Amino acid sequence: MLDDFLIRALIAGLGLVLATGALGSFVVWRRMAYFGDSTSHAAILGVALSFAFSMPFYLGTLAVAVGMALLVAWLTGRGQGMDTVLGVIAHSALATGLLAASFIPGLRMNLDAFLFGDILAVTRSDLVWIWGGALAVLGLLVWRWQRLITASVNEELAVAAGINPKFERLILSLALAIVVAIAIRIVGALLISAMLIVPAAAARGFARTPEQMAGSATFIGALAVVCGLFASLRLDTPAGPSIIVVSAAIYAVSLVAYRK
């Protein structure tokens, strides 16, 4: 029989990949890996604010991630370079969050759990947040799917079809913010981007359509969660990094299969 904490970890991981499979595909297509990485780093400030004001850390993390997405959209719209804006905001927020954490004893002791994740410590209330956020992201992507695909393939074509590429980019940014908020407890701020990118990159070699890639990325992510948790249990290794390592191994296999 599996222990309750392991069942909760499995349910949490499967809820996460429900969102990261499709969203990670867009991250790969649109080369938004740095945006996801920057958002996850900035989320540490949200965690610090949540502890400081005694509120659920999911809300604090989501507020900071959404605020960053909106600020980046506003600054890039005023002619600022995307990479520069992301670098300045993400590192400033990360440094501010780490500084604030040094003044909060409870957070200072648990900071590693938010940096590297602690999927084995998720509670039933965490599962509600994780699955609620994942379903919200999935619903958002399904609602905008064709418009997002068109804007990702060719922005000029999207404009000709009456689609606003900037708005679709903002939709993806908000979806990323939600995923960061729900994933920080599972894989941590430093590994969220890997959970988005690696399964989607592995799925790319097997898929022929956008829908196939999104579905394959979800399946690969789920397989990585199951195998990573099993390896963590047998080898006594950290669960979050174990999941990412399994994803990377599947990606390596996909490269060989793609070349053949």
Model confidence over 43-77: pLDDT tens digits?
888 888 888 888 888 888 888 888 888 888 788 77
Structure-token match 């407890």, residue found? 185
Check: CB of residue 17 under 8 Å from CB of residue 199. Answer: yes
| pLDDT tens-place string over residues 140-194 | 999 999 999 998 888 888 888 888 888 888 898 889 989 988 898 888 888 888 9
pLDDT above 60 for 1: no
Asked if the structure places residue 33 within a domain, the reply is yes
> Residue 42 sits in which domain range?
4-189
Residue 61 located in a structural domain: yes
Is 49 within a domain? yes
Domain for residue 149, yes or no?
A: yes
Q: Is residue 126 part of a domain?
A: yes
Burial (CB < 10 A; 0-12, 13-18, 19+), residue 13, is buried
Instruction: Decide if 77 is inside a domain.
Output: yes
* In-domain check, residue 166: yes
Number of independent structural domains in the chain: 1
> Looking at residue 30, which CATH number applies to its domain?
1.10.3470.10
> H helices within the chain, ranges in order?
4-29, 33-52, 57-77, 82-101, 105-116, 124-153, 155-160, 165-183, 192-204, 210-235, 239-259
Q: What pLDDT does residue 108 have?
A: 61
